[in-house]
A and B are shown apart, each in its own frame.
Chain A
Amino acid sequence: AQSVAQPEDQVNVAEGNPLTVKCTYSVSGNPYLFWYVQYPNRGLQFLLKYITGDNLVKGSYGFEAEFNKSQTSFHLKKPSALVSDSALYFCAVSVGGFKTIFGAGTRLFVKA
């Protein structure tokens, strides 16, 4: 069965510092991996995805993520955090692009 784990409920980082939000997954088959962001009282917004190709993918708002097949991880990163990055981040996985399983979410708090 597919599953996604986001081991941290919350990540705290100072503005200007690099940030990492962790995600590991378990699937049988080749995964499609996604990151979404949710701001208060809004729906989820797509940030980036990995389907095939280069293990480092770049997405919206300066975010990037690295696919690591041996560690079954897909961590979200940003070189320099902004206060406006504070939000709830979801990692998601699907096989074949249809049914998608979302992680529990990680709340990112960036302090000025």
Chain B
Amino acid sequence: DAGVIQSPRHEVTEMGQEVTLRCKPISGHNSLFWYRQTMMRGLELLIYFNNNVPIDDSGMPEDRFSAKMPNASFSTLKIQPSEPRDSAVYFCASSFPGSGRNEQFFGPGTRLTVL
């Protein structure tokens, strides 16, 4: 298996622009997580889905952030409009809790820079 796939790997944009981050989870995994990592705040859970349904979005910082999972093999995290303080590395992770394994498999991350 190719693991969790994220695109793009790097994104540089200007303040006010829309940014869309993409994630393909591991096939068969039914839980998907979006995290943000910064030096100041560490690793923060933004939102997670189970069976394509958002379960907890309490970590989404503002209404500028939205996430969707239209099917089991694809999810997006959108920031509109973007701001410099959104600069961070965004990770997607997937897992299959029903298997009893529970551990999460992380993608390589998207490094977002908002100028």
Contact = CB atoms under 8 A, between A and B. Distances in A.
A98 B31 contact: yes
A108 to B, nearest CB: 16
Interface in B8-59: 31, 33, 42-43, 45, 48, 50, 55-56
A97 B43 contact: no
Say which size band chain A's interface belongs to: 20 to 34
A99 B56 contact: yes
Given A99-B48, A100-B45, A102-B43, 19 more contacts: A32-B102, A34-B103, A43-B107, A44-B43, A44-B93, A45-B106, A51-B100, A51-B102, A90-B43, A96-B97, A97-B97, A98-B31, A98-B97, A99-B45, A99-B55, A100-B33, A102-B42, A102-B45, A105-B43
Interface of A: 32, 34, 36, 41-46, 49, 51, 90, 94, 96-102, 104-105
Interface of B: 4, 31, 33, 42-43, 45, 48, 50, 55-56, 91, 93, 95, 97, 100, 102-109
Contact of B108 (A42, A96, A101): A42
Given A44-B91, A100-B45, A49 B102 contact: yes
A102 B46 CA distance: 12
A90 B103 CA distance: 13
Contacts of B56: 99
Contacts of B95: 97
B102 A97 contact: yes
12 contacts: A34-B103, A36-B106, A42-B109, A43-B91, A44-B104, A46-B103, A46-B104, A90-B43, A96-B97, A99-B45, A99-B56, A105-B43
A98 B91 contact: no
